Amino acid sequence: MSAHRPHRGPHPRTAARQGAARLRRAAAALAALTCALLASAAIIPAAWAVNVIPNGGGDPAATVPVVAAGMAGWQITSIALGAALVAATAAVVLDRTLAARRAATAA
Domains in the chain: boundaries: 13-48, 73-107
**Mean predicted confidence (pLDDT) in 31-58:** 75
Identity of residue 26: A
More confident residue, 84 or 106: 84
For residue 66, how many other CB atoms are within 10 A of its CB? 5
pLDDT of residue 5: 64
Give the contacts of 53 (CB within 8 A, at least 6 positions apart): 60
Average pLDDT, the chain: 78
Question: Residues 70-96: pLDDT tens digits?
Answer: 777 788 888 899 999 999 999 999 999
Give the contacts of 99 (CB within 8 A, at least 6 positions apart): none
Q: Is the pTM of this model over 0.85?
A: no
CB environment 8-42: b (16+ within 10 A), e (fewer): eeeeeeeeeeeeeeeeeeeeeeeeeeeeeeeeeee
CA distances from 65 to 10, 27, 52 (A): 69, 45, 13
**Mean predicted confidence (pLDDT) in 30-36:** 89
**Out of 44-53, 61-70, 86-95, least confident range:** 61-70
The yes-or-no verdict on residue 17 having pLDDT over 90 is no
Total count of residues recorded for the chain: 107
